[in-house]
Structure formats: structure tokens, C-alpha cells
Amino acid sequence: MSENKSAQPKVTLHWLNQSRAQRIVWLLEELNLDYDIECHIRNSAMLAPEGSQSLHPLGKFPIVVVGDRVLAESGFIIEYFVDKFGPQLKPSDEDSLLRYKYFLHYAEGSLMPPMLVGIVVENINKASVPFFIKPLINMITGGVETRFLKPNYKTHFDFLEAELSSRPYLAGEEFSGADIMISFQLAAAKRVCGLSKEEYPKLFEYMERCESREACKRAYKKTKEMEAAGTKL
């Protein structure tokens, strides 16, 4: 049993399938902490189930209960757990430490916004309208895609490819909490932004390097099982 476990308060992760909560399972596995998971499954409209606002006023996942504290916001949750229980996930040299802190903010603060706009545009494109209107809708949303989304995606992926060409992990030589933080956005980027291995080989090698960690594999297995069980309910 690790040293962490004897001193730790009770930890409960409220997990929602296909959400940012996935990275917190990975984090807790990396830290080798004892924790319970409360499993929440999206409804047929892909929304979080009713009642999640009783857990935290925003009703967004992940939510983590540590002792009598209720924590929300992925970047903050990662920072909190790394500071309390995971010095091995936080760099010690100043350059890497500053990059670690920068990327904890970057993932949601800069990389996510254009991806979110991309998802909204995709939904507007899919909206049910008379067939003769469709080309006009596509013309408008296509403008957003050409003028805003594609250049933004390219800027971000070029930036990350360059960063990961000079070191193996986001912050530096070692894997850190920042790599867990960005995993949600990168997984989504492959799915919705056309992020490809041919164009961004270093970024793909990096993702494979992170995903090959035992803690990541355990997290993936655990949540696959929960999702399968939950969606059978």
C-alpha cells in the first residue's frame, strides 16, 4: 500500500460518460489513491441526468468530493490532487514548472474554445430544415469553418507539434498533470477537427506515449465497463 493511502481522506469521483471526468479517473489511477466512483450516464439527448446540480451548483462533471470539500473544474482538480498527493506529477525545474502551469490553463482556456465552436457549427449543420434551405445554412456555417475554425485548429496543432518536437511531454522530460489535462481536448481533436497522424506525427507519438501508461489503460478499462453497465440499465 502506498504512503498516500494511509493519510488520504475519502475521495469520491462523480463521473459522467463521454465527459471531462475521464481524465480524473486517469489522474487518480496515476496517484494510486483509494477512491470511489459514482457513475452518471448521459440520457438519450446526451445530457447529464437530472439532479446533478444537487452535487455542485453548476451540475457539470467531473465533481470530486474529498473529505467534506466538493471540487469542480478539471484544471483546479488536477492542481489540487498533484499538490496534495502527487509531487511526481509536477516538475521541479522552473522552466518545466511554468510550462506545467501554463498548459493547465491552456487546454480549456485556449485550445477548447475553437473546438467548442466547431461542435456548435456541426450541430447547426445537422439541424432539420427544408432541403432547399440546407445549402444556405451550409454557406453561412462554411464561412465560420473556413475563416475561423480551420486556421485556428492549424495554429494550435502547429504550436503543439513544435512544443512536442523539443521534448517528450508537454511540460518537459517527465510526464505531468498537464499531459492528463490536455488529453480530453486531443482525443476530441482527432474526432472532430481532423487531427491526423500524417500531418502531426510528433503529436501522435506523444499521445501514444501517454496512452501506453498503465494508469491510463486501467482508467480506460474501468470506465468502459461502467459505461457498458450503465447504458444497459
Alpha carbons 27 and 1: distance in angstroms, whole number:
18
Residue 35 contacts residue 71 (beta carbons within 8 Å): no
CA atoms within 13 A of residue 114's CA, in its CB half-sphere: 20
Residue 25 contacts residue 37 (beta carbons within 8 Å): yes
Q: Which stretch binds its own copies (CB under 8 A): 4-12, 117-125, 168-176, 203-211?
A: 117-125
Please report whether residue 110 would count as binding its own copies according to CB under 8 A: yes
Task: Give the residue among 87, 84, 88, 89 at the shortest CA–CA distance from 7.
Answer: 84
Rounded least distance, CB 75 to its own copies, Å: 4
The Cβ of residue 192 has, within 10 Å, a number of other Cβ atoms equal to 15
Chain-centroid distance of CA 145 in Å reads 23
| Positions 60 through 79 that interact with its own copies (CB under 8 A) | 60, 69, 71-76, 79
Please report whether residue 53 would count as binding its own copies according to CB under 8 A: yes
Alpha carbons 197 and 184: distance in angstroms, whole number:
17
Please report whether residue 98 would count as binding its own copies according to CB under 8 A: yes
Q: Which stretch binds its own copies (CB under 8 A): 30-38, 129-137, 168-176, 190-198?
A: 129-137
Rounded least distance, CB 32 to its own copies, Å: 23
User: Which residues neighbour 46 within 8 Å (Cβ) at sequence distance 6 or greater?
Assistant: 18
Write out the three cell numbers for 86: 502527487
Rounded least distance, CB 228 to its own copies, Å: 29
Residue among 24 and 104 whose Cβ is closer to its own copies: 104
The binder of its own copies chosen from 124, 192, 215, 226 (CB under 8 A): 124
| 36-40 and 11-16 strand pairing | parallel
The binder of its own copies chosen from 46, 54, 57, 67 (CB under 8 A): 57
Residues near its own copies (CB under 8 A) are 53, 57-60, 69, 71-76, 79-80, 98, 101-102, 104-106, 108-110, 112-113, 116-117, 120-121, 123-124, 127, 129-130, 133, 136-137, 140-141, 143-144, 155-156, 158-159, 162
